[in-house]
């Protein structure tokens, strides 16, 4: 930094001449004032920087937004969605912003889970935050920071989504957030081409799936690949396996009891389910197609893990619907193409195939009129369709237009989610206390892959709760 030009009290000229001494305070005052002026004008420029919208509020395109006109202002939004996906989000509400003059200032962060707490504690809460986990939102509901949905938005949400969905953001009879994106985590990715060439058939039961795995192993194809490395979230794909197995083997009631800690984490039923997963994930004959031995699961990234399916080195990969974005660009994802997915088959016919899934919720920390308007807009099917038409996104909204979903996996998932007969359960880990759901559960499953005993692992997680 350059030294300050400010004259100091020991300036030699000042010491010598009394006349100069009289001028000295004036010079010092000038030196102090100049930066202050700079400061004020700079801040003024930044404050007046926000630009206005361009669309004509009276035009036909603005018809759907008529109720929110004449509000204006700007809304600060914070969420875990970044880069390309954040850009699509901005595009999705662009028309709303243009027509109503309400600017939505979205900021995405890879550290959302940790930073939202810091922001709220520091008095810097955003107007609206997009939560990827209802458990995290519940923390802010308890502390009184998050506000219940305004009536308009709550009515829209109740019209649009099933009870199963809304139950995750309902506290004491009040809704706190509107569902946004959704995903399905019970999918098994496979290659229809490879299946056809070898005469394999998509299994309808868990036992058939194990038989198929044995057949593949006999043919010299590793039937499964997996990878749980995901930075500080390492371990979560393995928890999805356990959650799916518990839900399919023992049904939604036991699943709920387990997630809410009404039965111990290491209940014999859960041990039974993890042993079932053990038969696949830690079976050296079954894994890890294209990546090495069982333990390579721990160091293979969740993004890379499924790619050998496309190269014919691995038979099946269980991963959520969002994995569609990870395949190479020219991959034909369709029922008869290179890659497709089936719903993880039923273990118990009476339980059937309930869905484990997840998604995002938008909740507000303030209730200014423009924030309420955005909350209402986010709850409309119009927003869901607007965002869905931009690709790689689908909502579980009942009236969402499936024709807009260009990706067949998104369509398959959306169909599964809106089927009134299908039972939906949120990814259990997200609803456990964070220290368990994103702490010891992930860590325990990682250690389990690395060779720790099944019961020992579950007891370790139980002890941490």
Find out whether 362 and 128 touch, Cβ atoms under 8 Å. yes
| Residue 231 lies near another protein (rule: CB under 8 A) | yes
**Binding-residue pattern over the window 250 to 289 for another protein, x denoting contact by CB under 8 A:** ----------------------------------------
Closest by CA to 139, choosing from 117, 154, 107, is 117
Q: Is 234 in the site for another protein (CB under 8 A)?
A: yes
User: Which residue number, 37 or 60, has a Cβ lying nearer to another protein?
Assistant: 37
- What is the nearest approach in angstroms of another protein to the Cβ of residue 443? 7
Q: Is 344 among the residues that bind another protein (CB under 8 A)?
A: no
Binding window for another protein (CB under 8 A); candidates: 30-38, 98-106, 323-331, 386-394: 30-38
18 binds another protein (CB under 8 A): no
Residue 224 interacts with another protein (CB under 8 A): yes or no: no
Is residue 10 at the binding interface for another protein, with CB under 8 A as the rule? no
Q: Which residue's CB is nearer to another protein, number 134 or number 160?
A: 134
Assess 333 for contact with another protein (CB under 8 A): no
User: What's the min distance (Å) between Cβ of 126 and another protein?
Assistant: 17
Interaction residues for another protein, span 137-166 (CB under 8 A): 139, 143
Residue among 65 and 365 whose Cβ is closer to another protein: 365
Stretch that binds another protein, among 45-53, 55-63, 146-154, 159-167 (CB under 8 A): 45-53
Task: With contacts defined by CB under 8 A, name the span among 24-32, 169-177, 353-361, 381-389 that binds another protein.
Answer: 24-32
The least distance separating another protein from the CB of residue 434, rounded to whole angstroms, comes to: 5
Residue 28 contacts another protein per CB under 8 A: yes
Pick one of 12, 19, 36, 163: the residue that binds another protein (CB under 8 A).
36
Taking the least distance from each CB to another protein, the nearer of 4 and 54 is 4
With respect to another protein, which residue has the nearer C-beta, 40 or 402? Answer: 40
User: What is the contact mask toward another protein in residues 412 to 451, using x (rule: CB under 8 A)?
Assistant: ---------------------xxx--xxx--x--xx--x-
In degrees, to the nearest 5, what angle opens at C-alpha 219 toward C-alphas 213 and 222? 50
Strands of the sheet containing 187-190, edge to edge, are: 316-318, 187-190, 340-343
Among residues 160 and 315, whose Cβ is nearest to another protein? 315
Q: Tokens standing for 219?
A: 């043919």
Binding-site string for another protein from residue 285 to residue 324, where x marks contact by CB under 8 A and - marks none: -----xxxx-xx-xx-------------------------
Nearer to another protein, 112 or 176 (CB): 112
Scanning residues 93 to 132, which ones bind another protein (CB under 8 A)?
113-114, 117-118
Among 179, 192, 203, 235, binds another protein (CB under 8 A): 235
CB of 295 to another protein, least distance (A): 5
In three-state form (DSSP H/G/I as H, E/B as E, the rest C), the secondary structure along the chain is CCCCCCCCCCCHHHHHCHHHHHHHHHHHHHHHHHHHHHHHHHHHHHHCCCCCCCCCCCCHHHHHHHHHCCCCCEEEEEECCCHHHHHHHHHHCHHHHHHHCCEEEEEECCCHHHHHHHHHHCCCCCCEEEECCHHHHHHHHHHCCCECCCHHHHHHHHHHCCHHHHHHHEECCEECEEEEEEEECCEEEECHHHHHHHCCCCCCEHHHHHHHHHHHHHCCCCCECCCCEECECCCHHHHHHHHHHHHHHHHHHHHHHHHCCCCCCCCHHHHHHHHHHHHHHCCCCCCCCCCCCCCHHHHCEHHHHCHHHHCCCCCEEECCHHHHHHCCCCCCECCCCCEEEEECCECCCCCCCCEEEEEEEEEECCCCHHHHHHHHHHCCHHHHHHHHCCCCCCECCCCCCHHHCCCHHHHHHHHHHHCCCCCEEECHHHHCCHHHHHHHHHHHHHHHHCCCCHHHHHHHHHHCC
Give yes or no for residue 29 binding another protein (CB under 8 A).
yes
Q: For the chain, how many residues are written?
A: 465
Examine residue 69 and tell whether it contacts another protein (CB under 8 A): no
CA pair distance 401, 386, nearest whole angstrom = 10
Q: What are the CA-CA distances from residue 58 to residues 63, 65, 136, 156 (Å)?
A: 8, 10, 41, 24
Is 4 among the residues that bind another protein (CB under 8 A)? yes
> Which residues of the shown chain bind another protein in the complex (CB under 8 A)?
1, 4, 6, 8-9, 24-25, 28-29, 31-36, 38-39, 42-43, 45-46, 49, 113-114, 117-118, 139, 143, 231-235, 290-293, 295-296, 298-299, 433-435, 438-440, 443, 446-447, 450, 460, 464
């Amino acid at each position: 930094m350059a030294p300050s030009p400010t004259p100091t009290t020991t300036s030699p000229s000042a010491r010598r001449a009394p006349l100069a001494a009289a001028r000295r305070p004036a010079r010092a005052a000038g030196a102090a004032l100049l930066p202050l002026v700079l400061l004020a004008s700079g801040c003024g420029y930044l404050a007046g920087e926000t630009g206005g919208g361009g669309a004509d509020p009276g035009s036909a395109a603005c018809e759907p937004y008529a109720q929110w006109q004449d509000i204006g202002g700007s809304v600060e939004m914070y969420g875990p969605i970044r880069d390309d996906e954040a850009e699509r989000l901005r595009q999705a509400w662009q028309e709303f912003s243009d027509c109503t003059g309400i600017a939505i200032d979205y900021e995405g962060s890879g550290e959302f889970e940790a930073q939202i707490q810091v922001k709220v504690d520091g008095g810097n809460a955003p107007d609206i935050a997009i939560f990827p986990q209802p458990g995290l939102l519940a923390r802010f509901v308890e502390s009184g920071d998050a506000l219940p949905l305004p009536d308009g938005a709550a009515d829209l949400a109740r019209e649009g989504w099933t009870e199963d969905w809304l139950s995750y953001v309902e506290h004491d009879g009040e809704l706190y957030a509107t569902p946004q994106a959704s995903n399905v985590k019970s999918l098994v990715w496979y290659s229809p081409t490879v299946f056809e060439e070898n005469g394999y058939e998509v299994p309808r039961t868990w036992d058939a799936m194990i038989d198929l795995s044995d057949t593949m192993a006999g043919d010299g194809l590793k039937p499964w690949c997996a990878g749980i490395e995901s930075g500080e979230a390492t371990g979560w794909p393995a928890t999805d396996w356990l959650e799916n197995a518990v839900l399919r083997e023992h049904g939604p009631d036991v699943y709920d009891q387990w997630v809410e800690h009404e039965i111990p984490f290491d209940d014999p039923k859960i041990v039974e389910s993890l042993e079932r997963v053990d038969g696949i994930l830690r079976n050296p004959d079954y894994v890890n197609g294209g990546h090495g031995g069982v333990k390579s699961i721990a160091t293979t990234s969740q993004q890379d893990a499924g790619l050998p399916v496309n190269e014919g080195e691995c038979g099946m990969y269980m991963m959520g619907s969002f994995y569609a974005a990870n395949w190479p660009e020219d991959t034909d994802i369709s029922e008869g193409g290179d890659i497709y997915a089936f719903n993880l088959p039923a273990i118990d016919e009476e339980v059937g195939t309930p869905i484990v899934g997840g998604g995002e919720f938008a909740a507000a920390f303030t209730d200014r009129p423009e924030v309420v308007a955005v909350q209402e807009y986010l709850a409309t099917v119009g927003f869901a369709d607007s965002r869905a038409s931009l690709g790689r996104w689908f909502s579980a909204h009942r009236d969402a237009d499936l024709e807009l979903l260009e990706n067949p996996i998104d369509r398959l998932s959306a169909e599964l989610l809106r089927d009134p007969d299908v039972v939906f359960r949120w990814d259990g880990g997200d609803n456990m206390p964070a220290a368990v759901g994103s702490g010891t559960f992930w860590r325990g499953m990682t250690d389990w892959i690395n060779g720790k005993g099944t019961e020992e692992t579950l007891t370790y997680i139980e002890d941490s709760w």
